[in-house]
Amino acid sequence: DAKTTQPPSMDCAEGRAANLPCNHSTISGNEYVYWYRQIHSQGPQYIIHGLKNNETNEMASLIITEDRKSSTLILPHATLRDTAVYYCIVSFKGTYKYIFGTGTRLKVLA
């Protein structure tokens, strides 16, 4: 089973920030949090990852709580093309396969 919990769906108005939460309460000290998204049935697209510090790149920001038990992916100005399923993944300790959950289906509304 996935080590993360995400809401099944969210809506966001175009141009607004989309904040996608993820709980990973059993995360270990050396495990990273990764975020991917999947548009339709395309291959999962890497967005961002982090260990304990907040991270930002050209696509998104990642906020990780101090206890590392949860994180939030922020898309600062959502567009219609950001409509996708977003997956929060914690690398599985002792191995490096990704365990995908069901993700959050984000719908950006015009």
Partner 1 sequence: EPEVTQTPSHQVTQMGQEVILRCVPISNHLYFYWYRQILGQKVEFLVSFYNNEISEKSEIFDDQFSVERPDGSNFTLKIRSTKLEDSAMYFCASSELEGRETQYFGPGTRLLVL
Q: What residues make contact with partner 1 under the rule CB under 8 A?
A: 30, 32, 34, 36, 38, 41-46, 49, 51, 87, 91, 95-102
Residue with tokens 């101090």: 66
And the tokens for 73?
A: 């992916």
Considering the complex, state which of residue 36 and residue 106 has its C-beta at the smaller distance from partner 1. 36
Specify whether the backbone of 29 is left (phi greater than 0), alpha (psi in -120 to 50) or beta. Answer: alpha
Smallest gap from Cβ 43 to partner 1, in A, equals 4
Question: Residue 70 CB, nearest distance to partner 1 (Å)?
Answer: 19
Nearer to partner 1 by Cβ, of 42 and 110: the residue is 42
Q: Please, what is the minimum distance in Å from the beta carbon of residue 86 to partner 1? A: 13
CB within 8 Å of 102: residues ≥ 6 apart: 2, 6, 8
Q: What is the DSSP letter of 81?
A: G
Q: Which is nearer to partner 1, 14 or 23 (CB)?
A: 23
Please, which residue, 30 or 53, has the CB nearer to partner 1?
Answer: 30
Residue 77 beta carbon to partner 1: minimum distance, rounded to whole angstroms: 22
d(CA 96, CA 14): 35
User: Is residue 60 within 8 Å of residue 37, measured between CB atoms?
Assistant: no
